[in-house]
Amino acid sequence: MQRSIHHLFPLVLTVLWTGFCLFTFTARAEGVLLTIPQAVATSLERNQIPKDAVSISVMEIESARPGKHLAKNILNWRSTEAMNPASTMKLLTTLAGLDILGPQYRWRTNIYTDGAIRQGTLKGNLYLQGTGDPKLIPEELAKLMKSLQALGIQKIDGNLFFDRSAYAPNVMEHNTIDGEALRAYNVPPDPLLYAFRTLSFQLGKSRTADFIDIAYTPALSQLKIDNQMQLVDRPCDNWKSNIRFNLDPESTTKTDQLLVAQFSGAFPSACKGVNYNVVALDANTFLTQGFAAAWEQSGGIWTRPPTGKNGNVPLAARLLLQFEGISLSDDVLDINKYSNNVMARQLLLTLALEKIGKPATTANGELVIQSWLKQNGLDFPGLVIENGSGLSRNEAITAEQLNQLLLAARNLSVGDIFYNSLPIAGTDGTMRNRLMAQLRKFLHLKKKPEARIKTGSLADVRSISGYVMSKSGKLYAVTSFINHPNAWRGLDAHDQLLSWLLEDGPEPKHAR
């Protein structure tokens, strides 16, 4: 009997926790605003956004005792309607990831060989086996090269093979919701994702002469730039519209993989330095040339240039190196501050990989999150997770559910890491240029109010979700979605809502 009681104890706690939360939300429902604040309503009307295309949930989070926070509803407007959340869906993925995997979790990139090291030369192939490190960038790859050299390798006499068996093939397909396959935000997941598979060209007028300097990252072993652009006396607005870009192999020899990035068109002299980001190479070519360049930059030598190919690690291969990337807490900072889609998608797949096994699928990632929600007493009917990033026409959640998630975060050990990962209005990330004028009004206060808000945007969708610390020190959870063709005009309405909370919200008589 005692064993049965202990077995049921987590379930009992879950039921009690859920019931307590429901009591918290309903027992204080008398003062809840069921209408939209005046300034928000005026903005929506001015921008031709109907109120039935909007949902808003505002809760005040109170500390009952250390480590235990409760909430009372402040404002509900269609808050139980499941809507497209765009990138605010990343809040669910990142909070679940932090709590399930732990903030110090690190992805592993394993390097195997079927050869041996003799007199500084590795005679044999290298097999790279990835687990989905979302931030395997040049700086991290440079560390990996030093680790290889520490094994006594100066020259590699072999080829590169890429083992992507950690993911199901369908999750790596390059499908987009807008047809923009060359845009960095549409990069598909990859267990061996390098530098987001994105070439970033830096363009600007030379300081010493009237011509255009072009540099790029990450370094690739066989890429050259053909600069045919003309410098023109124009403002920097819409500079991309006059640039033509092409990336093609240059015909030399059968074994040469030289690539030529050609820029032509007009470049405004007023531009001090801009970035042109493009996804223009297949995953194998990008990783092969990136790995080769990193090895050469570290002082390593190739007997012949590698031609990377797909291939699972042979049973007879031996592990040379297990490289660990940066911590999950740092990755979550990038995901939420800068709304990185592929990093969020890879985090969802990592949950599937770690908890269910390979090959990871988005469906299994959703199962892991749904189980985590239940364990935390959160029942989210209508929740739809397609990829965990919000870059989807199908993902759905309610404003109230996201606010319940924000409340739950305050009661988790990872709550502060999650809180600090959100963009700060007027300071950084996707909120860097938001609420600047409103925040200036509080410069005289010793403890300044702040808004830590995850934003989201798709065609027909604008969303915000996060925390507002008001001028009086109250902490609010706020979520709002706009799903409408005029949603792109809704930024002001959301800023009005956040400003309303920074000021502690007007009395009900000022709302309509």
| Domain ranges within the chain, ordered by starting residue | 32-85+397-512, 106-326
How far apart CA 259 and CA 282 sit, in angstroms, is 12
The pTM of the full predicted model, rounded to 2 decimals, is 0.90
At 91, is the pLDDT very low, low, confident or very high (cuts 50, 70, 90)?
Answer: very high
| C-alpha distances out from residue 38 to 41, 367, 497, 506, Å | 5, 41, 10, 9
- Is the pLDDT at 476 greater than 60, yes or no? yes
- Any idea which residue has 């997770």 for tokens? 385
- Is the pLDDT at 3 greater than 70, yes or no? no
Look at residues 86, 79, 65, 67 and name the one whose alpha carbon lies nearest to residue 25: 79
pLDDT at 359: 98
Among the residue ranges 23-27, 214-218, 293-297, 405-409, the one predicted with the least confidence is 23-27
Q: How many CB atoms lie within 10 A of CB 139?
A: 12
| Model pLDDT for residues 163-204, shown as the tens digit of each residue | 999 999 999 999 998 888 889 999 999 999 999 999 999 999
How far apart CA 108 and CA 132 sit, in angstroms, is 8
pLDDT at 511: 37
- Is the pLDDT at 510 greater than 60, yes or no? no
| Model pLDDT for residues 383-422, shown as the tens digit of each residue | 999 999 999 999 999 999 999 999 999 999 999 999 999 9
pLDDT at 22: 34
Residue 242 carries which side chain, given as an amino acid letter? N
Enumerate residues 6+ apart whose C-beta is below 8 A from 12.
none
**Rounded (10°) angle between helices 328-338 and 90-101:** 170
How far apart CA 121 and CA 506 sit, in angstroms, is 72
Pairing of strands 243-249, 461-469: unpaired
Look at residues 112, 130, 128, 110 and name the one whose alpha carbon lies nearest to residue 353: 130
- Is the pLDDT at 4 greater than 80, yes or no? no
How far apart CA 382 and CA 331 sit, in angstroms, is 28
The angle at the Cα of 86, spanning 83 to 89, to the nearest 5 degrees, equals 85
- Say if residues 127 and 315 touch (Cβ distance below 8 Å): no
CB burial class (10 A; 0-12, 13-18, 19+) of residue 255?
Answer: exposed
How far apart CA 161 and CA 379 sit, in angstroms, is 44
511 pairs with which residues across the strands? 37
| C-alpha distances out from residue 388 to 208, 346, 347, 392, 409, Å | 47, 9, 8, 9, 18
pLDDT at 206: 85
327 pairs with which residues across the strands? 106
Q: Dig out the tokens for 142 from the structure.
A: 């440079």
- Say if residues 162 and 191 touch (Cβ distance below 8 Å): no
φ, ψ for residue 463, nearest 5 deg: -150, 155
- Is the pLDDT at 429 greater than 70, yes or no? yes
How far apart CA 88 and CA 462 sit, in angstroms, is 10
| Model pLDDT for residues 349-383, shown as the tens digit of each residue | 999 999 999 999 999 999 999 999 999 999 999 99
- Is the pLDDT at 17 greater than 50, yes or no? no
| Model pLDDT for residues 439-471, shown as the tens digit of each residue | 999 999 999 999 999 999 999 999 999 999 999
- Say if residues 263 and 228 touch (Cβ distance below 8 Å): yes
Look at residues 212, 193, 191 and name the one whose alpha carbon lies nearest to residue 203: 212
136: DSSP letter = B
Ranked by mean pLDDT, which of 9-23, 241-255, 334-348 comes out on top?
334-348
- Say if residues 461 and 489 touch (Cβ distance below 8 Å): no
How far apart CA 494 and CA 500 sit, in angstroms, is 10
pLDDT at 412: 97
pLDDT at 207: 79
**Rounded (10°) angle between helices 138-149 and 283-297:** 60
512: DSSP letter = -
How far apart CA 386 and CA 58 sit, in angstroms, is 26
